[in-house]
Amino acid sequence: MAGKGVTLMEKQDSRFVLCARGLSVSFFDHAVLRDVSLNVPAGGIAVLVGRSGSGKTTFLRSVNRLNEEVSGCRTEGSVELRLPGGKVDVWPGVGPDAVPLAELRRRVGMVFQTPQVFPVTVCRNISVPLSVTMGCPRSELDDRVKDALVRVDLWREVADRLDMSAERLSGGQQQRLCLARALALEPDMLLLDEPTASLDVRSARHVEDLLLALSEQLPVIMVSHGLAQSLRLASFMAVMEEGRLRCEISNPDGMEEGDLERLLDGAEDVRGEEAN
């Protein structure tokens, strides 16, 4: 997986898809992220791992500025994206490379831990964001809904149930629908917050296969609690601990679950190469 996205990088003339500098986030003066500096290389899936409360989700939500939707949030430092559409100044979000918040969130798609389907029909879950946030013409909606569902391998299962409430789908189908919704908006990057945490093993594997295929088309940053899953998917890993970046692992091939477990438990160096 290490070679994926090289073409993209050549176009961008940059090795990194995300650069965070001195990123600190607090909620009502409670610090959740402390001075995190991290460069995420382009290509493959970058996985953030760490114990609960280590700041993984908050870091992920800094990339599309979703933390700002929670009251009492205060962000310091800088976050910059180098996407196929050009450089984007995410935070502080001023200057020539800044983009409007709605556009940023459309270009940086996100899928949550528990499937967050909208309480509308299967079809409208995709068509409403398309028409509202992208102004997609009504005549194109059906085709684009179908394309998105085909991309996540859901079309065959729901083709005759598009007018059904999305809440009636199974957990795995709902999560793939959320993925389809994000993909329909033609994102330049995908953020995934433990996307398989609420799924059974089979559905989780299905989603994992989809993510591996997608990572060949666009950058993916993912939070995962599962060590085995992290090792299966990651081409780059960042280990977080108590709001700080503990270490980066640029090539996790060959690592085993035990190594990662020891790293999470506080071992200084498991392979003699990753310390940040």
Q: Out of 46, 47, 49, 66, point to the residue binding another protein (CB under 8 A).
A: 66
- Report which of 24, 5, 11, 20 is spatially closest to residue 81, judged by C-alpha positions: 20
Cβ neighbours of residue 12 closer than 8 Å, sequence gap 6 or more: 42, 82, 84
Q: Which of residues 150-179 bind another protein (CB under 8 A)?
A: 163-166, 168, 178
132 vs 267, which CB is nearer to another protein? 132
9: exposed, middle or buried (Cβ count in 10 Å: 0-12, 13-18, 19+): middle
134 vs 247, which CB is nearer to another protein? 134
Residue 64 touches another protein, criterion: CB under 8 A: yes
Q: Which of residues 182-221 bind another protein (CB under 8 A)?
A: 182, 185
Instruction: Provide the Cα torsion 14, 17, 21, 24; round to 10°.
Output: 180
Residue 268 CB, nearest distance to another protein (Å)? 37
209 Cα distance to chain centroid: 15
State the DSSP code for 121: B
112 vs 155, which CB is nearer to another protein? 112
CA distance 62 to 59: 5
Other Cβ atoms within 10 Å of 121 Cβ, number: 18
Residue 72 CB, nearest distance to another protein (Å)? 12
Q: Out of 51, 92, 102, 267, point to the residue binding another protein (CB under 8 A).
A: 102
Could you tell me how many residues of this chain bind another protein (CB under 8 A)? 32
157 Cα distance to chain centroid: 25
Strand, coil or helix: 31 = strand
Residue 121 touches another protein, criterion: CB under 8 A: yes
Of the ranges 109-117, 202-210, 234-242, 255-263, which one interacts with another protein (CB under 8 A)?
Answer: 109-117
Interface residues with another protein (CB under 8 A) are: 64, 66, 69, 102-103, 105-106, 109-110, 112, 114, 116, 118-122, 124, 128-129, 132-134, 163-166, 168, 178, 181-182, 185
